Amino acid sequence: MDKLLVSGPSKLAGKVSISRAKNAYLPILAAVILSDKPIHLVNIPDLQDIKTMIKLLTMLGVDVSVNGNVTTFNAKNLKSHEATYDLVKTMRASIFVLGPLLARLNKAKVSLPGGCAIGTRPIDIHLENLEKMGARIELEAGYVEAHVDQFKPVHITLSFPSVGATENLMMAAVFTKGETIIENAALEPEIDDLANFLNAMGAKVSGIGTSKLHVHGVDSLKEVTYEAIGDRIEASTYLMAAIATNSEIEITDVNPEHLDFVIDTLKKMGAKIETADKTIKVFKHEKLKGCNIDTAPFPGFPTDAQAQLLALCCVIDAGSIVTENIFENRFMHVPELVRLGADIKLKGNTAFISGGRPLKSAPVMCTDLRASAALIIAALAATGETEIQRIYHLDRGYEKLEQKLIGLGANVRRVKGN
Ligand code: EPU
């Protein structure tokens, strides 16, 4: 297994270009199934989760060809409606193919994703609303087996604004005759991006950017070229790495409005940040203050940036409180940060960070994607060479991580394992 050696304390400088968002491209890739026309996707990030989704599409019969930074998908000859356990167990986002398969082939068999490191992550909101739309669903030997004759245009209200359920249901409704309304829809920028992509393909989704989405059924879709939005969580990670090391960097190719809450929080803590179109500049700061933050669905503070914020809080000379409200088990970075010298107490879903303890290198282990990002931030701020093990978690969500960090002047080295 590869590991990363990070020597600190680092000073970062220069520019970093943000990749297209993994969490935007995963549902967009699933939406490819809806169309029998070519779909050209630009700058798909080179990440493990994206490779897994493309492998799944290939197994379903989607043709995939790569030409430079454009990948072309053609789902004209879909031959399967089944997403097997082998693939789904490695990536929960495989569940996104459920809605599109039903819309296109009237049937789908998708392995139940099961839990994952950050929580149990049920899919009940996906399933109960697909049923309200007219699907017949059975759970059989670990699989969701779903059939539909014709989806009905219904008005559904989600019991929680689940990102994945909103995406699955929006894709499922694309061909439904009449108007499907999805209320209490998630507001994350990746939802808008999927809706914009579907519309570029010829679908009719309105209410984009609100919690009430309207999907008017269309008969067919057309050829399209599309590029997803920049990755707001990758950008948040570099932003917090710069602040934790009191560095000046420029983060490009991301919409700063997608990070409003994160930037506001960091500014309130004393960080000096300026934003312009697609650019975020971080400057050196004086003394930072602690924070009291609760994660929440967008536009609140993102759960996907909680671990990175917590790492930043460790190097501030003040106390902070961070509460995780989205996933029940998303504090696995805490014991690893403690190994680096941090003083953090956990009480239920709240972390109390004393701050101001000097971080020192130690061997640490990645447990999930964002927990790993937190370890990188802490290691950049810590004194000495930190060995970060199991970095395959990082390879799921951070494109060219070492190259980007080295480009910013960090002393980072990957050691290849078996
Ligand atoms: N939930 C249910 N039932 C459902 C669906 C969700 O109880 O049917 C619960 C989940 O268990 C969780 C909460 O609702 O406690 C939020 O889940 P949601 O469905 O909103 O999240 P998701 O679609 O599974 C996406 C991202 C996550 C990100 C969350 C929240 C993708 C591929 N994944 O997951 O990204 O944390 O939204 O913003 O888009 C990551 O990138 O590290 C990551 C985990």
* Residue ID of nearest Cα to ligand 1 atom 13: 326
CB 336 within 8 A of CB 375: yes
Q: Give the separation between CA 165 and CA 171, rounded to whole angstroms.
A: 10
The residue assigned the tokens 């520019």 is: 15
Backbone angles phi and psi of 83, in degrees to 5 = -105, 110
Whole-number pLDDT of residue 99:
98
Name the residue with higher pLDDT: 89 or 71.
71
For the segment 205-209, the average pLDDT, to the nearest whole number, is: 98
Collapsed DSSP state (helix, strand, coil) of residue 336: helix
Overall average pLDDT of the 129-133 stretch? 98
Q: How many CB atoms lie within 10 A of CB 194?
A: 28
Distance CA 398, CA 418 (A): 21
Residue whose Cα lies nearest atom 35 of ligand 1: it is 304
pLDDT band at 155 (very low <50, low <70, confident <90, very high): very high
- Let me know: does 353 contact 313? Beta carbons within 8 Å: yes
pLDDT digits (tens, 9 = 90+) for 87-123: 888 888 999 999 999 999 999 999 998 667 877 789 9
Tokens 């282990």: give the residue: 365
Residue 369: CB within 6 Å of ligand 1? yes
Q: Is 116 a catalytic residue?
A: yes
Confidence at residue 116, expressed as pLDDT on a 0 to 100 scale: 73
For residue 202 and ligand 1, the question of a CB distance below 6 A is answered with no
Q: Is the CB of 152 under 6 A from ligand 1?
A: no
Q: Are 329 and 115 in contact (CB under 8 A)?
A: no
In this prediction, residue 55 carries a pLDDT of: 97
The response to whether residue 122 sits with its C-beta less than 6 Å from ligand 1 reads yes
Which of 116, 291, 313, 366 is flagged as catalytic?
116
**pLDDT by residue (tens digit) across 222-256?**
999 999 999 999 999 999 999 999 999 999 999 99
In the 8-state DSSP scheme, what is residue 266? H
How many other CB atoms are found less than 10 A from the CB of residue 241? 28
pTM: 0.97
Whether 366 has a pLDDT exceeding 70, the answer reads yes
User: What CA–CA distance (Å, rounded) separates 53 from 67?
Assistant: 18
What mean pLDDT value characterizes the chain? 96
Looking at this protein, which amino acid is placed at residue 72? Answer: T
**pLDDT score at 115:** 66
Mean pLDDT, to the nearest integer, of 266-285? 98
The predicted model gives 173-181 an average pLDDT of: 98
Provide mean pLDDT across the span 191-211: 98
Please indicate whether residue 274 or residue 417 has the higher confidence score (pLDDT).
274
Give the 3-state secondary structure of residue 157: strand
